[in-house]
Amino acid sequence: MTAHHRTPALLRTSLLLIAVLAAFAFAGCGREAPSAPGGLTLAAPPKGGDFTLQTADGPLASQSYRGKVIALYFGYTYCPDVCPTSLAALGEALALLTPAELAQVQPLFISVDPERDALPRLKEYAAFFHPRMIGATGSPAEVAAVAGAYGASYARQDIKSEGGYVVDHSSFVYLIAPDGRLAASLPHGSTPEAMAAALRKLLPPAR
């Protein structure tokens, strides 16, 4: 792809990030990249598994999406950098899919900060990146159980900030296959094109 053709997509991503930072910029998100000094990586080898959490529209059970690919990300709405970057890239990846392909993908954003991330706020935040994206969370124990199953790391850091504290967290997009198994963990910095290709590999055959 030429630089000329990549410019519109890059511009859209830049404008999206500026807008979301203006709307949701409060203090704090942990750095994450496997090679980043001080960043958090996977807490344990992820095994995945079904879960049920809450959304603004009621309970969400992951098993209800059998037959579809789930793109799962852990973060929080007060994050000013890593989350918007990763979710914007995921949104761009979803935009690369055909309507038929997109209908077979469900993006989910799980907040690791249930204390501050009220369900209406989560719904608005997730939908900003893509209208199909659903924001969910639960009690601290429920969130910890789901994060642990997927190997996601996060830790609250009490420092002076507008939000009161920050949450350092790992940054991976987990792809759950149509049969419910964890099929891939895409690292922070994955391009929209790479994400779209990984999603397509997991889509059920066209009928």
Report the 10 Å Cβ neighbour count for 192: 18
**What does the block give as tokens for 3?**
């630089």
CA atoms of 144 and 51, how far apart (whole Å): 11
Q: Supply the pLDDT for residue 67.
A: 96
- Edge-to-edge strands of the sheet including 182-187? 134-136, 105-111, 69-75, 172-176, 182-187
Q: Hey, how many other C-beta atoms are within 10 angstroms of the C-beta on 200?
A: 16
Q: What ranges in 34-118 are assigned the alpha helix state H?
A: 82-95, 99-102
What pLDDT, on a 0 to 100 scale, did the predictor assign at position 161? 62
Q: What is the largest CA-CA distance in the chain?
A: 55
What is the predicted pLDDT for the residue at 43? 52
Instruction: For helices 119-129 and 82-95, give the axis angle rounded to 10 degrees.
Output: 50
Element (H, E) at 106: strand 105-111
All structural domains of the chain: 3-202 (3.40.30.10)
CA atoms of 20 and 80, how far apart (whole Å) = 8
**The two three-digit tokens of residue 53, written as one number:** 């959490």
pLDDT for position 19:
41
pLDDT value at position 198? 97
**pTM, 2 dp:** 0.79
Distance between CA atoms of residues 9 and 17, nearest Å:
12
What radius of gyration, in Å, describes the C-alpha atoms of the chain? 16
Which pLDDT score is estimated for 80?
77
Q: Yes or no: say if 36 and 166 are a contact pair by the CB < 8 Å rule.
A: no
Q: Rounded to an integer, what is the distance from CA 62 to the centroid of its chain?
A: 15
pLDDT, one tens digit for every residue, the chain (207 residues): 443 443 344 334 443 443 443 344 333 454 333 333 234 555 556 789 999 999 999 999 999 999 999 999 999 998 878 899 999 999 999 999 999 999 999 999 999 999 999 999 999 999 999 999 999 999 999 999 999 999 998 888 877 666 678 888 889 999 999 999 999 999 999 999 999 999 999 998 866
Which amino acid would we find at residue 11? L
